[in-house]
Amino acid sequence: MATNLLESIHSPADLRRLPAAQLKGLADELRECVLQNVSKTGGHLSSNLGTVELTIALHYVFNTPDDRLVWDVGHQTYPHKILTGRRERMPTLRQLGGMSGFPRRDESEYDTFGTAHSSTSISAALGMALAARQKGEDRKAIAVIGDGAMTAGMAFEALNNAGVERDARLLVVLNDNDMSISPPVGALNRYLAQLMSGNFYAAAKSVGKTVLGPVPPLFELAKRIEQGAKGMVVPATLFEKFGFNYIGPIDGHDLESLIPTLENIRELMARQSGPQFLHVVTKKGQGYKLAEADPVAYHGPGKFDPAIGLVPPAQPPKQTFTQVFGQWLCDMAAQDKRLVGITPAMREGSGMVEFHRRFPDRYYDVGIAEQHAVTFAAGLACEGLKPVVAIYSTFLQRAYDQLIHDVAIQKLPMVLALDRAGVVGADGATHAGNYDIAYLRCIPHVSVACPADERECRQLLSTAFAQDHPVAVRYPRGAGAGVAPLADLDALPFGKAEVRRQGQRLAILAFGTLLYPALQAAERLGATVVNMRWAKPLDLDMLRDVASRHEALVTVEEGVVMGGAGSAVAEALAAEGRVMPLLQLGLPDEFIEHGDPARLLSLAGLDAAGIEAAIRTRFGELAALAAPVLKAVG
């Protein structure tokens, strides 16, 4: 497809110079550009195909970047990036040193707010609108919220605040595609569906066609004023009760409706007519039939041929930690009827599809509402059920207060299955699970398990489920060392470590999957290796024994060094008055950018070569004198 129009667009100012008649052609080119680039790099596809026309219309009508445009969630912004001068960088999307898959303030002045999770846009845009008012600046703020993000409490907190700011130049655009990452859930989704298909409005619209149809000029006039007049026949909406002027729903792929509607809203905002709410309906995967048919599969695909679509690999891929968790969840649920599974809108990502199919009455998707998920689980636990909350490490951060006040203080038993612990690769700093050990181990009554491989993951999940207090089991994205899980549900001893390699002088204490590169480094260093398994509680008996038999200790973890498992070891040694050299290896005190996970770990010095080099640098003499090869155990 020729890209003459798109190649002429280097900024939204160029877009605004185009006649409206050319925008449909531009939309076709933009959609093709997104498809071709994502097929080569991987990334978010369905959500971006669905926002092409909406992106064009917003930049065409509003004076960006002077008018602030906030996208929520951030994985629907590839068309926005292309139209704001970053088309030529699309081949670097989500690659190390390349362009982020989410809005970033340090990447472009058009990325007014970083939005990589969800439900923050209305709060941020309201802040921008009121800042403009306070500074006497005539600018507008637009929040585009979609993909289930309206299910989060924070969005409604912001609506509640914004509704009383009658002179705020704020527009909230609800990009309603009837789809979050997982299928939509909850009463809000039902409400929106009823709003779009209400019989009263449908009947009124039908009558209008019957009466005005024979008179084409009048019918055309009715079409033009339809959205504005709809308030006469549709009862007041929830959003109007919040104090917004509600407009919609309108077709988010129809530029002939979108642009005049946005122009009218722009004039209302100029007259300070209070906060505006535009409800647009879009389709995920729009324009690419395969993504339209299966938007979940094409939500975040890897590389693929657009002409063919996603093809199963020739050889079955290695089992992932997520799959290990999903199988354990089903097996344990079959054995213990008290088990209930909870996810905050991440059924597929957390491996709960089969559990949902087999145990629908014990499966709860609460929407993008992590705080509610944890306190909801606490309520279930109060009544004797055994909740398992499947939640990404980075998203549990949102429920930190609930974890302390509603779970830990009451010592309620539950399993927190923390997927995506450690570096996550292409999604970058916003999705990295680098902090869970540090932010969990300081909470009383909370334990933290760090399985080294797939087999231990299943076993430690069983251990966690058997406890009478909250236990987090952290595991990374993707596959591990390839150690096949056992079929049974046997647990490992609570809070106990194991020696995996016996050496001398130096001992490496490994937490989690970095056990395996630590073992490789130890072969060259002649060091002892301990698979610690638990960041909290530490196996103090093992620590005392290892410390007494070695001259120096090294801790290794795929988490931040500050406050992490290595810090726990240092605290334990200090508490016993034991002074000995200790090297703590882990992630540095900086946000880890997007890129291949193995490469990111290598850059952080957490592959076998990096671990060996760090030890030799710190303990050169001990490493040189250690036996080069000693027999492994375990």
* Distance, CA of 417 to CA of 505 (rounded, Å): 36
- Two structure tokens written together for 150: 């309206």
From 32, 370, 454, 456, active-site residue: 370
From 284, 386, 458, 501, active-site residue: 284
- Residues 416 and 472 sit within 8 Å (Cβ to Cβ): yes
- Two structure tokens written together for 566: 């290595």
Residue in 12, 55, 13 with CA at minimum distance from that of residue 30: 55
Let me know if 157 is a catalytic residue: no
Backbone angles phi and psi of 69, in degrees to 5: -115, 120
Let me know if 398 is a catalytic residue: yes
* Distance, CA of 435 to CA of 586 (rounded, Å): 11
Q: Please report the sign of the dihedral spanned by the C-alpha atoms of residue 76, residue 298, residue 27, residue 223.
A: negative
Strand partners, 553: 507, 582
- Two structure tokens written together for 122: 């209305």
Q: What is the dihedral of CA 86, 90, 94, 98, to 10 degrees?
A: -60
Backbone angles phi and psi of 299, in degrees to 5: -65, -50
Backbone angles phi and psi of 245, in degrees to 5: -85, 105
Let me know if 420 is a catalytic residue: no
SS3 252: coil
From 283, 398, 441, 455, active-site residue: 398
Q: How far is CA 298 from the centre of its chain?
A: 16
- Residues 409 and 458 sit within 8 Å (Cβ to Cβ): no
E strands along 437-581, which residues? Answer: 447-449, 471-474, 498-501, 505-511, 528-531, 534-536, 550-560
Strand partners, 550: 505
Residue in 476, 542, 548 with CA at minimum distance from that of residue 509: 542
Place of tokens 């909350």: 389
Active site residue ranges: 284, 370, 398
